[in-house]
Amino acid sequence: MSLTTNDVNKIAHLARLGIDAQDTESYAKDLSGILDLMTQMSELNTDAVEPMAHPMDQAQRLRADNITEINNRDKFMSIAPQTEDGLFLVPKVIE
């Protein structure tokens, strides 16, 4: 399986990941190499196998419905790139 630079650009857009134009070729090559590695998996029949998402066969623990967090806005805002009036600012969102 091999990926084209066009594939790479599509995936990069989906991941909102800027990649330098001159690197696209090498990403395509690297990813194709990795995908070749993946094809080994298809040689094994796994029809009867249940997928495993987690190492532990455990149930989700449930938290009591209590308010345990206090307002920490100033602290959080202090590490944000751009804020005003307690809001995070981003370029205009068009709906």
Partner 1 sequence: MHNKSLKELSIGLQNKEFSSVELTQVFLNRIKQHQDLNAFITITEEIALQSAKEADIRIANKKTDSLTGIPVAQKDIFCTLDVKTSCGSMMLDNFNAPYNATVIEKFNQAGAVMLGKLNMDEFAMGSSNETSYYGAVKNPWNTHKVPGGSSGGSAVAVAAKLAAFATGTDTGGSIRQPAALCGITGLKPTYGRVSRFGMIAYASSLDQGGPMTHSAEDAAIVLQTMAGFDPKDSTSVDLPVPDYSATLNQPLTGLKIGLPKEFFSDDLNAEMATKLSAAIDEYRKLGAEIKEVSMPNLKLAIPAYYVIAPAECSANLSRFDGVRFGHRCENPVDLTDLYTRSRGEGFGKEVKRRILMGTYALSTGYYDAYYVKAQKIRRLISDDFKNALTEVDVIMGPVTPTPAFDIGEKMSDPVEMYLSDIYTIAINLAGLPALSIPAGFINEMPIGLQIIGNYFTEAHLLNIAHQYQQVTNWHQQTPKGFA
Partner 2 sequence: MEWETVIGLEIHTQLATQSKIFSGASTAYGAEPNTQACAVDLGLPGVLPVLNEDAVRKAVIFGMAIEAHIAPYSIFARKNYFYPDLPKGYQISQMDHPIVGKGHLDIEVDGVTKRIGITRAHLEEDAGKSLHENFHGLTGIDLNRAGTPLLEIVSEPEMSSAKEAVTYMRKLHELVRYLGICDGNMQEGSFRCDANVSVRPKGQVEFGTRAEIKNINSFKFVEKAINHEIERQIELIENGGKVVQETRLYDSVKDETRSMRSKEEANDYRYFPDPDLLPVIIDEDFKAQIKANLPELPHAKKLRFKTDYQLDDESASILTSSRTLSDYFEAVVNASGSEAKLCANWITGDLSAALNKADLEITDSPISYERLAGLLTRITDNTISGKIAKQVFEELWQSSASADEIIAEKGLKQITDTGAIETIINKIIADNQDQVEQYRSGKDKVFAFFVGQVMKEMKGKANPAEVNKILKEKLQG
Site for partner 1 in 16-45 (CB under 8 A): 16-20, 23, 27, 30-31, 33-34, 36-42, 44
Contact call for residues 19 and 8 (beta carbons, < 8 A): yes
Dihedral, CA of residue 52, residue 53, residue 57 and residue 63, to nearest 10: -170
- Quick one: what does residue 17 bind among partner 2, partner 1, none, with the CB cut-off 5 to 8 Å set by partner type? partner 1
CB 32 within 8 A of CB 3: yes
Which residues would be at the binding site for partner 1 (CB under 8 A)? Answer: 3, 7-8, 11-20, 23, 27, 30-31, 33-34, 36-42, 44, 46, 49-56, 58, 60-61, 63, 72, 75-76, 78-82, 88, 90-93
